[in-house]
A and B are shown apart, each in its own frame.
Chain A
Amino acid sequence: MARSAKKGYFIDPSLEDKVMVAKGNDDRKPIQTWSRRSTITPDFVGLNFAVHNGKTFIPVYVTENMVGHKLGEFSQSRMFKAHGGSK
């Protein structure tokens, strides 16, 4: 079920602080984060993130289309394995 609208988006407070700092200066260094559960807000657009997938940090560049999704959606935590295919 979807989150109640009256609560607004969920963002980890620690991540929000980091985003605000990054917006303040022109540093393009990716923001390392473990907070896969945080929703991407319009503030995030144009920033680089490094989202933890349980093992490593996956680089994610946030575009306008990604607003409303969670950071974790862009950092796969499972490897795709398939049988067969071309040799």
Chain B
Amino acid sequence: MPRILGVDIPNNKKLAYSLRYIFGIGPKRADIILEQTGLDPDMRAKELDEEQINVIMSKISELNYLVEGDLRRDYAANMKRLQAINCYRGLRHRRGLPVRGQRTKTNARTRKGKTASVGGLRK
């Protein structure tokens, strides 16, 4: 399987879809990359040769797309800033609760993790 940007190994899907496996590249950016490089969106990722992979990689850096590690570092830095200045959003990140004002009486399980029962485990 082809490797783009070091670790990413998109699979046997069409290019327009397999590029989305790169963190930081979604439908829109995948389309832009394919359009500007002139590669066939219907081509399977495994059919890519060395040269075409290089074309994609240079296109990504040319368009200044933050991807993978760089993007993750960006996220972490933003979060760290919010926590360092002690603002409301930073506190919510620290507590692992929703940051953008969602309700927490019910739901919010994505942030809070699996339900923990209160006093219900006895018997």
A50-86 Cβ-contact flags toward B at 8 Å (1 or 0)? 0000000000000101100100111010001001100
A66 to B90 Cα, complex, angstroms: 12
B interface size (C-beta, 8 A): 10
Whether A66 contacts B87 in the complex (CB less than 8 A), given A83-B118, A84-B118, comes out as yes
Q: Indicate which residue in B81, B86, B95, B118 contacts A74 across the interface (CB closer than 8 Å).
A: B86
Q: Which residues of B contact A73 (CB under 8 A)?
A: 87-89
Q: Indicate which residue in A63, A76, A83 contacts B85 across the interface (CB closer than 8 Å).
A: A63
Q: Which residues of A contact B85 (CB under 8 A)?
A: 63, 65-66, 69, 74
Q: Which residues of A contact B91 (CB under 8 A)?
A: 76
A69 to B85 Cα, complex, angstroms: 10
Q: Indicate which residue in A69, A80, A83, A84 contacts B87 across the interface (CB closer than 8 Å).
A: A69
Q: Which residues of A contact B118 (CB under 8 A)?
A: 83-84
Chain B residues close to A by CB (< 8 Å): 81, 84-89, 91, 95, 118
Selected A-B contacts with CB under 8 Å, 21 pairs: A63-B85, A65-B81, A65-B84, A65-B85, A66-B85, A66-B87, A69-B85, A69-B87, A72-B88, A73-B87, A73-B88, A73-B89, A74-B85, A74-B86, A74-B87, A74-B88, A76-B88, A76-B91, A80-B95, A83-B118, A84-B118
